[in-house]
A = this chain, B = another copy of it.
């Protein structure tokens, strides 16, 4: 586990440190700095962030609830290693929820929001044009953030929380089963969705969102590893 954010986050948490740790680990997981299957021992996490096992444990418990971490009794916590079936469930869920989020966002979006989205899209584009694994991670993160911004604008805190979970799990799934660079076309689709939103065309925005999710899932390689079953256990250790 090589997370260098340690100091930054330790000092930036005057209260609710377990929440800060959760956030740090979350980012590390969706950034792929922590690979699926990695063991997250309470002692190690505690040492990294300079806290006791108690608060480290609380952070891991939160991540377990989000599905980003799997804990086995008396064995410890591991970064989740979603099966192809779980992957499909993630995208099936997103197909249900995101059109609703788009519809909600359509009604509440403000010019300032649109401005924010434009900046976000610029950020995405910037990372796409950069080279190296760090840029790649930032690109994935930024791509997810677009969907989260949409959820935040939609004004439904519950759906927003669900999307938080789904986007994070999507990152894990893409890390495991992703085939190509994913987002070169994803960026264009984000842009198209925003355009439709700006023009008040909710139908079109929702349809674009569905297609976008389809494209992301289509880029995954879910079929092959499905039959093995025990391969999970192998790559887990």
**CB within 8 Å of B: which A145-171 residues:** 156-159, 162, 165-166, 169
Which of A67, A89, A99, A166 has most B Cβ within 10 Å?
A89
Does A62 sit at the interface, judged by CB under 8 A? yes
Q: In the assembled complex, which residues on chain B have CB atoms less than 8 Å from the CB atom of A169? A: 158
**CB within 8 Å of B: which A60-102 residues:** 61-62, 65, 67, 73, 86, 89-90, 92-93, 95-97, 99-100
Interface string of A197-236 (1 = CB under 8 A from B): 0000000000000000000000000000000000000000
Partner among B86, B96, B104, B165 whose Cβ is within 8 Å of the Cβ of A97: B96
Contact A16:B159 (CB < 8 A) given known A96-B96, A97-B97: no
Q: In the assembled complex, which residues on chain B have CB atoms less than 8 Å from the CB atom of A166? A: 158
**What is the count of identical protomers in the complex?**
2
Which DSSP category, helix, strand, loop or mixed, fits chain A's interface? helix
Residue positions of A touching B, CB distance < 8 A? 15-16, 58, 61-62, 65, 67, 73, 86, 89-90, 92-93, 95-97, 99-100, 104, 156-159, 162, 165-166, 169
For residue A174, give the distance in angstroms from its CB to the closest CB of chain B.
16
Contact between B15 and A73, CB atoms less than 8 A apart = yes
**What are the 4 tightest A-B residue pairs by CB atom distance, in nearest-first order?**
A96-B100, A89-B156, A65-B65, A89-B158
Q: In the assembled complex, which residues on chain B have CB atoms less than 8 Å from the CB atom of A86? A: 157-158
Measured CA separation A99–B166 after assembly (Å): 19
Contact between B89 and A157, CB atoms less than 8 A apart = yes
